[in-house]
Each structure stands twice: as C-alpha cells, then as structure tokens.
Chain A
Amino acid sequence: MRLYANSALCTGCRACLAACSLNLFSQTNPKMAALLVLLHFPEPGEYELKVCTQCGECAAVCPTEAIQKNANGVYRVIPERCDLCEACVAACPEGVMFVKTELAQHSWKCDLCGDCVAVCGTDALWIAGEEVAA
C-alpha cells in the first residue's frame, strides 16, 4: 500500500499538510508535513503534489538504520536512531524526506496514516496497492 496523488485535482488548499503534521507530530504546522504542494502561478496556473511512494531509497542509504519497513510495507523513521545526516533527503526521488532541525531533531517521512486522504475534498490523494497506480 502507498499514497497516490493526482496533481490535476489538487486545488492548493493544503488541508493535507495541516492534517499530516497533526497526525505525525501532534502539531498544527504544515511545515512539519511529509508531503508537498508546489505552486506554478500566476502562469500556467497549476498545482503539483509530491508524495512518498514507499520506494525505500531512504532506508537503503540510511547509515544508522533509522528507517525501517514495517509489516504493512511502510517505511517509518525510528527517531532515536536518526543522526540528522540527511542522506535520506538527498536520496528521496520525490523530495518528501525531511530534515529541518529548527522543527524536529530527527528526520521524518510519510507513515501512511491516511489523514491527508481524509481531508482532501477533491480526491487528489488516495491510498492503494501497487496495482492501482492511477
């Protein structure tokens, strides 16, 4: 299972970011979210979503084994093992692996909680198995 996004349906509202930080960190702070909404305005007038595909590149490069795959196939950060080296950030092909030391003393990523999907009013986000790619 993983998170999917259809940027064409995104309206840039960022409800997903607020929901993400609330579940992941118990804080209302979109800058602590594990997905991205990029804007291309005023022209051509498009939004672009970046989400974790659970590809595992982050775990593969992590020198401290701070990112582990769980029984559901979801890669999760073990905060106390993270040494903030940012290797995962550089390796992430979608740009959704985060280290921001002013906000948290460990890296973070999508844990597939599904709250972003719950608040998205346009179904631009959804969770499915690998076979349902679009």
Chain B
Amino acid sequence: MNGYGGSILRVDLRQGTYKKQATPDDLARDYIGGRGFGAYFLFTEVPPGADPRGEENKLIISSGPFSGMMIPGAGKCDFTCKSPLTGGYASSSLGGHFTAELKYAGIDSIILEGNSPKPVYLVISDNKIEIKDAAHLWGKGTIEVEKYLKESLGEEYQVIVIGPAAENGVAFASVNHDYGRQAGRGGVGTLMGIKKVKAVAVRGIRSIPAADLQAYRQAGLALFKACKEAEGLKPWQMYGTTIVTSWCDEVGALPTRNFSAGSFEKGETLYGPVMRKEIVITDKGCFGCPSPCGKYSRAKKYSAYVEGPEYETIGMLGSNLGIADIQDVAMANRLADDLGLDTISAGGVIGWAMECYQKGLLSKENTGGLELNFGNTEAVFTLLKQIAYRQGFGEFLAAGVKQAAQKLGKGSDQFAIHVKGMEQSAYATHNATAMLLAYMTCDVGAHHNRSWAITYDLQVGRDIVSPEKVARIIWLQNFRPMFDVLGACRLQWVELAIDRDLYLPALEAITGIRRTWEDLEKVGERIWNLNRLYWIREIPGFDRTWDLPAPRFYTEPPASGATAGQITKLEDVHRLLDMYYEQRGWDTNGRPRPEKLEELGLTAFAN
C-alpha cells in the first residue's frame, strides 16, 4: 500500500496478546491517516458512554502517509482516545521520530486495547513484538526511562514514555518522546498510565513504498527547496515558537496571571532573544525538519537540561504564573516533562489556584502551607510534583481546572480558563474574536493548533464579528488539521509560508492517489463533524453552552496591558456562535444537520 506501513497493530493489554490487520483501503481513502484514523477508530470502536478510565477506552497512535518520507517535518504522531480530562474527544500530537520508525516497522497505527493488570512496556523490533514487564521502570521519570531504553535496546529505537503523573492518574498527563516532545493535551498520557503501558519502543528496517519514486523525489526536493529559500527560515531557526513571545506581549495575547491580562510588565525577561542567549545550547529537529523549532536548553541556575521552553510553556508556566526568569521557566518545564505533565494544563490549573489564593478563596490552610502568590517559583516547583504524585494540595488540582473550580465553588469558575474542560493554551483572548471563537469551537477544548487566528484578529480588526471572520475560522479548522492527518508538520506552511500546492504532487507520487486541497479540506470537514458527533454522543445534554469561553473573556476587561479595558460582549459571543453554526450546517445547539452529514458521508454515524 503506497505511502503506508500497511498494517494496524492491535494490542490486547488485558490478555497480553496482539494481532496485526492490513490497513483498510477505504479507511485510507476516507480518513487518510493520523488524526483521521484516530477519529474513525474512536467513534466506531469505543462504545458509547464508555468510562474514559475503563477497559473499553482505547489509545490510538497513528502515523500518516507523509510520516517517515522525504517530506519536510514528516514526524507527526497522533494520539486519540476518549479524554480522561474532558470526557469528550481527545487528540494530541507530538513531533520527533516515533511514527517514522513505526512505519519502517510496517505499522500505520497502534491501538492499545484493554488495561494491563501490571506495568508493561512494548518493544517492536520490526516483525517481532514483545510485551515486557515494566516493574523496574514504573515510578521513574520520563527522561531516565527513555535513556535506559535507548541504552539497553539501541539508539535506533524510538521511544514514547509516560511519567509518574500518568501512572498516578492525573487527568492532564502527557506522552513524552525524544527527551522533550510531548503529546500533552486531553490526558492521552493519562490513558496510557491507566492501561499500565510505561513505554513503547520501536525500530523498523523496512522501506516505505511509494507509487512513483522519481516524481516523489522531485516533489520532495521541491518542498525542501521552498523551505530553504523562505524568508522566514533564519529567524524561525533562531527562535522557534518563542519568536512570538514579544509580539504576544505587545498585542495583549500573552497570558498573564491567570489570563487576567494579556501583557506582562516583566515580559521582556521571557522573550526569544533572552532565552536564546541565556539557555539554548542546540537546535533540535523533528524527523525531516528543515526549520527546527525545537530548542534544547540548559538552565545553568539548576544544571538542568530541557527541550524548550517553547512559547506555550513560556506563557503558561511563565507569565501566566507571574514568573519572570527564563531559567525558572526552563526548570519548571524540565520538572513537568520528567513528571509527564502537560505544561499548558499545569500552568492553567496553577494559575487558577494562584488567583484563588490572591483573592482569599484559598488560604495556606487549604494549600498545605504553600504560599501560592504569583511569581513564587519554589511553590510552582513544589506544586508540579504534588500534582504528579497527587499529594497535598496537588490532589485538589489533579483533575483539571474545571473540576477544581466545581469543587471549590465560591465563584471561582468565573476565572477557570477552559473550554469543554480543557485548559486554554497560551493566547489571551480579550477582545480577539477570531481567536476566541477558535478556542470555543476547537474539537478537543481550548487548544490553538486547529485554528491559530490571533494574527488574523490584528489584521482585520480584533473586535469585528462578521461572517467573513467566522468563515476564516472554519476554513482553518478544516485545513490545518490535515497536516496531522497527513503526518507532516504544518509549520512549514504557517511560518515559512511555502505554497501549500507543493504538497499535492508529493502526496500523489507517494500514494498514487491524486487529491486537491479542496478534496483534503472535505476530509478535514468530515473529521471535524465526526468529532462533533462524538461529543454529542458522549456528553448528555451537550448544547451550545459547551462552546462558551471562560466567563472572564466576556465580563472582565484587563486592568492593564495592551488590551486594558477591552472585552467581547456575551451578546457578540453568541452572534459568533450563531454564524459559526449556520456556516457549519449545524443547528442552533451546534448539532450537525442531516443534510450536512449526508454531504460528508456521515449519515450512518448520526446518533
């Protein structure tokens, strides 16, 4: 099967057995790979109403047809499951080298089924698959375990691993890889911990077949050439995602003290050039990446090595917690990585706790003596560990900010910054209606990568509420996730602005199937609607209220910074939603209409 490993590996963890099936042709045609495979398997195989922490939930790990090929950034790996954090659809991706290696072993997706009675790890050595006892690895940090597995199995093995946070059932635990890449969102690591799978190591020696080798080589070289000639290449290589930190601070998009503002008065201490000068030691690329955003750092103050911090972590564990020293942020990042915590959700939940403390809703009696003042770095370090081990006050935060605010009450849900139970990533959305709508309607909760529209707000007017703005969000949501479906990074298109049409001849030469971006966006729309149906199926009473942002964004204008005094009115939030639903072909409660489902070939999936 050209462009594919050719098989789906199913591991029954309860029985300790596995089987391989051929990757179905129609699945490749309709869902292509990556996030598409994940969405399909989740909807069709995890029964309605399944307990996210129960035996029936599955962790689906998928590559795409570009994974492992000579295509820029062809290292994307998708993790899909029913979310232990939100109870809805979860999909999170990491870069690095795992899916490339998986395809060299002839595998497109791994589906982890059932829960193992004891800790195990999987070793895939081309055709040979072993489920091994992980008693000696359980309880250990992600970095130590990855190092151990690479040393004992061989450097060529690519490893995904969970940390103590996942073992202990923290709802926002990550899957880690390559000493610093994470699939962090929605608790995909949590599920791996529930299944008691400490790690998966893979090595393959096979070639990935392509339909037309010469055309593929030419198309691949043309993509790399475009990247190398792009004007944005050098600055992006220098700073990676931290290139936006200063810009976000200037325009009021840098989350500051639990999103109470979008500009940080000490923001300059966290900017890209400061980080580059103070801590970065090497640039680190995912598979086939000509424009590596990965910055590998050493925080001298702590003698700590860490990949990053990248922008999201700087926002969430830096300015959002009032921390103004890049070395402190790097150390918090290192702790979160080793413990296996999503830095975004961790920063969200700690930021909320700090605001509760500031407002007197929590005191030292509640926090076990921790003084949770904004800027208290040591308290952040302690709390990250307490969350991962669910000890002390950490237990209160381990289920995520939505649950914590429900438990505490006292009006603290006003500033619990999440959508659908997922903590918002690092773009403050005061008076930024496109980005706000992007977060409100994102298919996993408040995450930015499906539709990153903050620059668009600045371009067209941040307070504008118009059908054109809504159409832009929908287009981004249908288009951008296709990179996760194809198995390549979107940042060559986003940041280097290469012509997206360059990917089409490569896809055709690899798979032998000619597709236009119009076709691909239709696949994106199909997946988006399928995921919407999943939320409706799994959440009783799911309606438009689930698409509302944190109340802060329509009730409390920031007191300072670039967006001081600015707010989006609730009335406009609802206007945005009405326009969005109409353009999506959904009803007023955000349910896809029968005509839309028919158009997308999803009628059989209707509830």
**A78 contacts B by Cβ under 8 Å:** no
CB < 8 Å: which of B143, B156, B207, B225 contacts A27?
B207
Set of chain B residues within 8 Å of A50, measured between Cβ atoms: none
Given contacts A39-B155, A43-B305, contact A14 B287 (CB under 8 A): yes
> Is the pair B70, A31 in contact by a Cβ cutoff of 8 Å?
no
> Is the pair B288, A13 in contact by a Cβ cutoff of 8 Å?
yes
CA distance A70 to B466 in the complex (A): 66
> Is the pair A19, B70 in contact by a Cβ cutoff of 8 Å?
yes
CB < 8 Å: which of A22, A30, A42, A118 contacts B305?
A42
> Is the pair B282, A28 in contact by a Cβ cutoff of 8 Å?
no
CB < 8 Å: which of A41, A43, A118 contacts B224?
A118
Interface size, chain A (Cβ < 8 Å): 36
Set of chain A residues within 8 Å of B207, measured between Cβ atoms: 21, 25, 27-29, 32
Given contacts A29-B206, A121-B228, contact A15 B290 (CB under 8 A): yes
Set of chain A residues within 8 Å of B155, measured between Cβ atoms: 38-39
CA distance A12 to B70 in the complex (A): 14
**A45 contacts B by Cβ under 8 Å:** yes
> Is the pair B237, A122 in contact by a Cβ cutoff of 8 Å?
yes
CB distance from B99 to the nearest CB of A (A): 13
Given contacts A23-B217, A28-B70, contact A12 B143 (CB under 8 A): no
Given contacts A11-B294, A121-B227, contact A28 B69 (CB under 8 A): yes
**A57 contacts B by Cβ under 8 Å:** no
Residue of A nearest to B306 (CB): A42
Set of chain B residues within 8 Å of A22, measured between Cβ atoms: 70, 213, 216-217, 220
> Is the pair A42, B290 in contact by a Cβ cutoff of 8 Å?
no
**A126 contacts B by Cβ under 8 Å:** no
Set of chain A residues within 8 Å of B217, measured between Cβ atoms: 22-23, 115
CB distance from A46 to the nearest CB of B (A): 6
> Is the pair A18, B147 in contact by a Cβ cutoff of 8 Å?
no
Chain B, 167-216, CB within 8 A of any chain A CB: 178-179, 205-208, 210, 213, 216
CA distance A23 to B221 in the complex (A): 11
CB distance from A12 to the nearest CB of B (A): 6
**B233 contacts A by Cβ under 8 Å:** yes
CA distance A31 to B204 in the complex (A): 9
Set of chain B residues within 8 Å of A115, measured between Cβ atoms: 217, 221
CB distance from A42 to the nearest CB of B (A): 5
CB < 8 Å: which of A11, A26, A103 contacts B283?
A11
Residue of A nearest to B233 (CB): A121
Set of chain A residues within 8 Å of B305, measured between Cβ atoms: 42-43, 45
Jot down 25 A-B pairs with beta carbons below 8 A, ordered by A: A11-B294, A13-B286, A15-B289, A18-B68, A21-B207, A22-B217, A26-B213, A28-B70, A29-B206, A30-B100, A30-B104, A31-B156, A32-B207, A38-B155, A41-B296, A42-B179, A44-B281, A45-B281, A45-B298, A102-B205, A103-B205, A119-B220, A119-B221, A121-B228, A121-B237
Beyond contacts A29-B206, A39-B155, A115-B217: 5 other A-B pairs, Cβ-Cβ < 8 A, are A14-B97, A22-B216, A28-B70, A121-B228, A121-B285
Q: Give me the interface of A with B, judged by CB distance under 8 Å.
A: 8, 11-15, 18-19, 21-23, 25-32, 38-39, 41-47, 102-103, 115, 118-122
**Closest 6 A/B residue pairs (Cβ):** A121-B290, A13-B285, A11-B285, A27-B207, A29-B207, A18-B70
